[in-house]
Structure 1
Amino acid sequence: MEIKKKRWKNRLLSLVSILMLLGGVYVLYNVFSPMMTQPNPDNNSTTKLLAETPEESIKENRLYIPKIDINLPYAKGGAGVMERGAWWRSPNSGNPKDGGNFVLSAHRFIMGLTPQQTQRKSPFYNINRLEIGDNIIIDYHKQRYEYKITEVFSVRPEDVKIEKRTEEPRLTLYSCTLGGADDGREVIIAEPVKKSEPKQKSAS
């Protein structure tokens, strides 16, 4: 009888150990799932959505970053806006139409119950993959604006200069570093790409 009890306890301990190990593996996979995505910048959900949504059919304000497969709405308001997309910070600092500093921020990392939730809640997780020269697209008031990244840098959490209005039109994206909100901010600066003027037909 005593031997059977020991066997039962050993089996139970083994089962608990296996479950804990599997749980740990799942948590690690969940945490690192946004990092594991390697989207093709020429063929992903963002590039497809852009192709399917020409400028004349724009219905909402939206941010697109093809290189890291980001496409999400943005809006004014408080931090709660970031549960649904990006937060338009300091609207008085500027916008794509009138110039100035158009500032958007979004969550870097929020863990969900599943890897899919984690990826959805952490849209700016891979912001560190962006480089000078990469393109960013903004839909604003039914108009489409293209930007090209010109600067990539980090600042301290208390540095609010990145939200100040600027003389020249620009787009500023930022999010926390992976060290957390108290560690600092990763910042992306992009300048508008001038639309080419339509060629006029020469008189024959």
Structure 2
Amino acid sequence: MYNEKKIWQNVRLWKFFITFFLICVLIFNWNEILIFSNYKIIWHKFISLFEQPQKPSYTAPTSNENKLKIPKINVSAPIIFGSSQQLKKGVLLYSGTLPGQKGKTIILGHSAPVGWPDINYDNVFSNINQLEKGDEIFIFYNKKKYIYEVFAQKIFLPKNEEQALSIEDKNQSILILLTCWPPGKDYQRLGVLTKLIK
């Protein structure tokens, strides 16, 4: 009887230690767990802010002709038209001004935390924070090559997007690369502002 009682006390003690250990693992690794569980949900919530029907004022060429290249950070991605679901196939050209036209052109892309699998363009904009003033970005659109030069970076809260991305000179051709920041989180946005030079 005494031996059986002691065994059950040990079992309860082990259950307590195992439960305590699992809770500690969850607490100390919560950020990593949260990133992998919420990354896709956060991105779709962010991208839905920009979704509008594409204006039928032009015929969208095939995505094979259209490409974004950023040599400094080794990015080469097709430019896609449509909704946020298309982001698995490249970077998304937000409806509005087209590359090479006067005004503001916005291209959206995913940014993923370090260690995220390199699939479906999930981390295409993870390193755009490394772009500096003077770095070049190449847009191949409608069988033409456009060269943009970085002139600024802005980190801002989602509620301040309109103000942060406003441009003073409407006669200039501005390209903005936009992503969630920090990678895998939905706290802020990072916009890299570039101007057409060629």
Looking at structure 1, the residues matched to 168 and 106 of structure 2 have their Cα atoms a distance apart, in angstroms, of 9
Distance 1:120 1:84, change over 3 A: same
Q: Name the SS of the counterpart of 1:67 in structure 2.
A: helix
% of aligned pairs identical? 25
The change in CA–CA distance for 1:90 and 1:119 in structure 2 (over 3 A counts) is closer
Q: CA deviation at 1:94?
A: 3.8
Inter-CA distance 130–153: structure 2 relative to 1 (3 Å threshold): same
**Residue aligning to 1:34:** none
Read off the aligned partner of 2:127 and give its amino acid letter. N
Provide the secondary structure at the position in 2 that maps to 1:132: coil
Paired letter, 1:176: C
1:188 and 2:192 aligned: yes
In structure 1, the residue matched to 2:49 is none
Q: Does 1:82 align with 2:83?
A: no
**CA distance in structure 1 between the aligned counterparts of 2:178 and 2:68, rounded to whole angstroms:** 13
Query: Is residue 72–residue 86 contact of structure 1 (8 Å, CA) maintained in 2?
Result: yes
Q: Structure 1: how far apart are the matches of 2:98 and 2:104? A: 5
3-state DSSP class of the match of 2:87?
Answer: helix
1:171 aligns with 175
Q: Specify the SS of the correspondent of 2:72.
A: helix
**Offset at residue 146 of structure 1 (A):** 0.8
Kindly provide the CA deviation profile for residues 131-180 of structure 1, in whole angstroms up to 9, marking residues without a partner as x: 11101000000111111101111124565745999331111111111172
Give unmatched runs, 5+ long, in structure 1.
1-27, 32-57, 195-204
Across the aligned residues of Structure 1 and Structure 2, the Cα RMSD in angstroms comes to 3.9
Normalised by the length of structure 1, the TM-score is 0.58
Q: TM-score, normalised by structure 2?
A: 0.60
- Give the partner amino acid of 1:186: L
Gaps of 5+ in 2: 1-30, 36-62
Q: Count residues with an aligned counterpart.
A: 163
